[in-house]
Structure 1
Amino acid sequence: MTAVPQATVYVAPIVTMDADAPDADAFAVHGERIVAVGSVDAVRDTVPDAAIEELDGVVLPGFIDAHMHMQRAGLKAIDYVSHEDDVDVYMARMQDSFHDDGPEDPPFEDRIRALVRVQPLLHALGITGVVDPAVTIDEMRGYQEAHRRGLLTMRTVAMPFLDIGSPRFPDVDAAIEHLDGTGVSTGFGDDVLRLGPIKVYADGEALKGQALLETPWDDTGYSGLQRITDEDFTRLVQWCGAHGWGVGTHAVGGGAIALLARAYAAAGDAVAERRFQAIHAYLEPGEDSIRALAHLGTIASLQPSIIWHNGSGLRAKLGQRAERANPVRTWLDAGAVLALGSDGPFFPFDPRHLMWQTITRCVAGEDRPLSMAESITIEEALAGYTTGAAYASLAERDRGAIRIGMYADWALWSADPRRVASGELRALRIRRTDVGGRTVYGGDA
């Protein structure tokens, strides 16, 4: 094989997340991409003139938070933390300010400042990409300008938010007219900033009793809030599927998830091609609905953080009915692609904590976990943050694994998450994070 000049060979145990070769001892990077993976000798033979760097830790692919409001997280960061504060302080401040949604209409330059401030904090968690699940027009302008200035170090997939029923988008026709007038669709952009599916709401929040359920919440017969009619939703989904747009739908309750199963079927092959999502999808989804959505190719975009935060309250409202909340195991067994995210900064967003939650099913404020029937393995949790989230980002050929040809997006962990007890998972440290061969945290960042 022809030697590739000016490469760097990194030597360390590697969790590749490549099913064909899950472990390696070295990998080589040339420019932005990985050019060799395997044993130390094989990699050095491939790039004999490369520099050699031995790393103290275990390499994993960079994590992708598949549901992170990054720009809003940055606006809160500039309000709540100083330039000297680290990510642990930031996470504590976000927890303390849970009910503060941040500034509603900030000056435009604050949006740029926000992104510059928050990206290093997220890189410190080993995160190299996000899917921002509800991007307004002003937020999109902020992302685009940060990218133009070369300030966007986080690979970002922006999901345009169409708040149907608002003055700007009073009905589905207004939303369709807006989308049709943009001249673009899902997938437009580059490897730093790309358009994802649109974001719409089918129901409301669970703890407010707004999740649309198939079994009523209580003896009154109230089943929750349906924010869009079956007819309008199906019409929107059909139009999007025919015009290149994916759809990501906030659907918490089983009734809303059943609505997705009915409407997404009308989009046919576009569901998989444009990465349609079932977002949240955690409260009493019917197994028939889950199987139907998985069969269509729908991504299960799930957030263990919400269950961690809301689990106790759901038990108080629903009793035994809450035990299978966030049925990650059921989604996986149905064949769905799992993309894990946080709904940060409003819910906990440390991926170490959230992977631990999917394994242990623990919830805040209670000693007893939710039903362990929905627990998953650490390998499955890692896939949710890497290969699954990369698929949701329309980037499965470029990200999510340490594999030849992929971007050199990786993080150096203090130990292999697969080899520690679940109770030790949250104590692991991130020592370095690289995006496209550039160190963005630790090392020489």
Structure 2
Amino acid sequence: MRGRLGWTLGALLLLVGTAGCSKRVPEAAASEQPAVPGVPTVYVAKRIRTLDAARPEAQALAVRDGKVLAVGTREEVLAAVGPTARVVELGDATVVPGLTDSHGHLAGLASALVGVRLEGTATRDEVRDRLSKAPPTAYQGEWLLGQGWDQNHWPEKAFPTHADLDAAFPRTPVALGRVDGHALWLNSEALRRARIDRNTKDPRGGRILRGPDGEPTGVLVDNAMDLAASALPAPTDAQRAARLTAALEHCARVGLTGVHDAGMDLRTFRLLQDWDKAGTLPLRIYAMADGQTADREQYLKDGPFQGKLLTMRAVKLTLDGALGSRGAALHAAYSDEPGHQGLLLLSPEEYAARVHAFVARGFQVATHAIGDRANTLVLDTLLHEMEATGKKDGRHRVEHAQIMTEQDIARLGANGFVASVQPTHATSDMPWAQTRVGPERIHGAYAWQKLKAAGAVLTLGSDFPVERPDVLAGLYAARTRQDASGQPPGGWQPDQRLSGMEALEGFTVGAAYASFAEDRRGRLKQGQDADFVALSVDPVDAPPADLLTAQVRMTVVAGREVFRADAK
């Protein structure tokens, strides 16, 4: 999450096993008539944005056996498919090609849906209040879990300590993930059970924040979070499957037909393989193998995988931390913490070795890089690998590409790399990002138009559950670079805003290209996969503010209605 969930609550709450995992996933929604295999279904709407240059707009499309059969006017399509077709009237909706979140964490979303949600808390008191009302699902054994706090929203803007939790929870271990997934806040009981004290050394790529006396304050950053993992009990198989099911259902409900999962653990992948084989997986999942943990050895042994709706062709590596927790690796020190340049979670040598191993096995490399030093190292390493092996068509991805030098922006665009960016990160970080990096470096931050001008393909996502998986919010942020109240006027760094069409392309054709699927999806034209979404507003031409109250009317994946707003 922003982008590491190597430890975090997603991995801990959803250590998915393969036994006892036959939980139901979303079924097709009811409609006027049940779909019949082999019989076309015609969807009629006010507007269909096909993103096909030959016919950019239409009013009807026909679907059969998971593919688009015909696109055109109502009369044209009905004439093409014959009188036996099932017809679904979508009224004033706008239909767009399937929307894909290009960087999310299903296991993390699964945990966020059952844990204590701390997003938007304005004080430590509010955190404690929410914890006091925790539902039973927020407990993993005796441990109380939550995530989403951000000290930048508190008056003092300082990291919390175990003392902020101890009085309210003297004997219950509490572990709370920061909003970016790169820091963990523990109370004293959790520190004790994890055996973390003044003698515990910082692991490579991690920090144990300490007070003047050398004692841990209760906050663990990046790789130091792993120190708490062994103390947590595992969930039951039924819990694991139910949580993942809820995450998939939520994604369909907010209008996603696909997710690029940025760093999937092996047990989650095995479960999704079972569901995909059984035909019950509701969304397209482009899984990136978790390249940080020991799971990578099995992924290397198995190689890429292609199922029905499940693909694994990429590996996710995490090179640095996040800007909010000052773990992003910078060339120069943080403007608000002199002497500190962030953290590299892998040494340059280890990163290069993992890149080489996965490229040799046929994987696309997707690397989390937030800080400018991390982004430079990613590009240096990938360019060296491409030159040494001659493999220059890997479409390797830079996940986040958040703080970059002008030179690296140019290099990313000129060498065929994909920039996987998250619009809502910019609008969440804009109140404090310049405080971290200063007035000069901020010009290379969240620089979407600069990346496009350099030749990079943009693919858009949310990094859920760091941000909400609601794709409409992502479209709004991409077009405005404003928060939900319309601030700041004109948008933050407004020259980097995307147009309505550019934003839609980032969640459709950009996502398809980033996953080697541009010949099969991302547009609505004959022969392509029948993945599409019906929205209550036109995401291209409607006033951006309308996106904040818009509704998803229907989500269709491979011709199957996996969500319908009026379904009972």
What TM-score bracket applies, with the shorter chain setting the length?
0.7 to 0.9
Question: What is the alpha-carbon distance in structure 2 between the residues aligned to residue 163 and residue 189 of structure 1?
Answer: 22
Could you tell me which of 490, 506, 509 is aligned with 1:387? Answer: 509
Could you tell me which of 458, 475, 482 is aligned with 1:355? Answer: 475
Question: What is the alpha-carbon distance in structure 1 between the residues aligned to residue 115 and residue 353 of structure 2?
Answer: 41
1:75 and 1:111 in contact (8 A); partners too:
no
Could you tell me which of 45, 55, 67 is aligned with 2:90? Answer: 55
Match of 1:21 in 2: 55
Question: What is the alpha-carbon distance in structure 2 between the residues aligned to residue 98 and residue 30 of structure 1?
Answer: 42
Identity across matched positions, percent: 29
Correspondence 1:414 to 2:547:
no
Question: What is the alpha-carbon distance in structure 2 between the residues aligned to residue 341 and residue 104 of structure 1?
Answer: 32
Q: What TM-score, normalized by structure 1, do the two folds share?
A: 0.85
Match of 1:90 in 2: none
Could you tell me which of 420, 437, 446 is aligned with 1:301? Answer: 420
SS at match of 1:424: helix
Q: CA RMSD in A?
A: 2.8
Question: What is the alpha-carbon distance in structure 2 between the residues aligned to residue 271 and residue 384 of structure 1?
Answer: 26
Question: What is the alpha-carbon distance in structure 2 between the residues aligned to residue 145 and residue 75 of structure 1?
Answer: 21
Match of 1:85 in 2: none
Could you tell me which of 49, 52, 75 is aligned with 1:41? Answer: 75
Whichever residue aligns with residue 437 of structure 1, its letter is: G
Question: What is the alpha-carbon distance in structure 1 between the residues aligned to residue 392 and residue 514 of structure 2?
Answer: 10
Correspondence 1:31 to 2:65:
yes
Question: What is the alpha-carbon distance in structure 2 between the residues aligned to residue 297 and residue 66 of structure 1?
Answer: 17
Whichever residue aligns with residue 296 of structure 1, its letter is: N
Whichever residue aligns with residue 284 of structure 2, its letter is: R
Shift of 1:304: 1.8
Deviations 1:25-59 (A, max 9, x none): 21111111101112333323321233333321111
Could you tell me which of 221, 236, 239 is aligned with 1:110? Answer: 239
SS at match of 1:67: strand
Shift of 1:179: 4.5
Question: What is the alpha-carbon distance in structure 2 between the residues aligned to residue 18 and residue 366 of structure 1?
Answer: 32
1:212 and 1:256 in contact (8 A); partners too:
yes
Could you tell me which of 223, 226, 246 is aligned with 2:344? Answer: 226
Whichever residue aligns with residue 21 of structure 1, its letter is: R
Structure 1 residue runs of 4 or more that deviate by more than 6 Å after TM superposition: 269-272
1:8 and 1:28 in contact (8 A); partners too:
yes
Could you tell me which of 422, 429, 434 is aligned with 1:310? Answer: 429
1:251 and 1:257 in contact (8 A); partners too:
yes
1:112 and 1:145 in contact (8 A); partners too:
no
Q: Which structure: larger Rg?
A: 2
Match of 1:292 in 2: 411
1:360 and 1:372 in contact (8 A); partners too:
yes
2:537 and 2:546 in contact (8 A); partners too:
no
Shift of 1:69: 0.8
Structure 1 window deviating more from structure 2 (418-427 vs 26-35): it is 418-427
Deviations 1:335-365 (A, max 9, x none): 1111111111122221111221122112589
Question: What is the alpha-carbon distance in structure 1 between the residues aligned to residue 399 and residue 72 of structure 2?
Answer: 37
SS at match of 1:345: coil
1:21-420 paired onto structure 2 within 5 Å:
21-49=55-83, 50-56=85-91, 57-79=93-115, 97-99=147-149, 100-101=176-177, 105-163=234-292, 168=294, 178-180=298-300, 182-185=301-304, 188-218=305-335, 220-268=338-386, 273-283=393-403, 285-320=404-439, 321-322=441-442, 325-363=445-483, 367-368=487-488, 369-420=491-542
Question: Residue 113 and residue 414 in structure 1: after superposition, are their counterparts in 2 closer, same or farther (change >3 A)?
Answer: same
2:319 and 2:374 in contact (8 A); partners too:
yes
Correspondence 1:11 to 2:39:
no
Question: Residue 426 and residue 209 in structure 1: after superposition, are their counterparts in 2 closer, same or farther (change >3 A)?
Answer: same
Whichever residue aligns with residue 448 of structure 2, its letter is: V
2:255 and 2:470 in contact (8 A); partners too:
no
Question: Residue 143 and residue 104 in structure 1: after superposition, are their counterparts in 2 closer, same or farther (change >3 A)?
Answer: farther
Q: Which runs of 5+ in 2 are unaligned?
A: 1-36, 118-134, 139-145, 150-175, 182-231
Deviations 1:74-122 (A, max 9, x none): 23324579xxxxxxxxxxx99x951455988432332221232222222
Whichever residue aligns with residue 396 of structure 1, its letter is: E
Equivalenced residues, count: 417
Q: Which runs of 5+ in 1 are unaligned?
A: 82-92, 170-174
Question: What is the alpha-carbon distance in structure 2 between the residues aligned to residue 372 and residue 183 of structure 1?
Answer: 45
Question: Residue 27 and residue 235 in structure 1: after superposition, are their counterparts in 2 closer, same or farther (change >3 A)?
Answer: same
SS at match of 1:431: strand
SS at match of 2:103: coil
Question: Residue 193 and residue 29 in structure 1: after superposition, are their counterparts in 2 closer, same or farther (change >3 A)?
Answer: same
Question: What is the alpha-carbon distance in structure 2 between the residues aligned to residue 395 and residue 80 of structure 1?
Answer: 37
Whichever residue aligns with residue 507 of structure 2, its letter is: Y
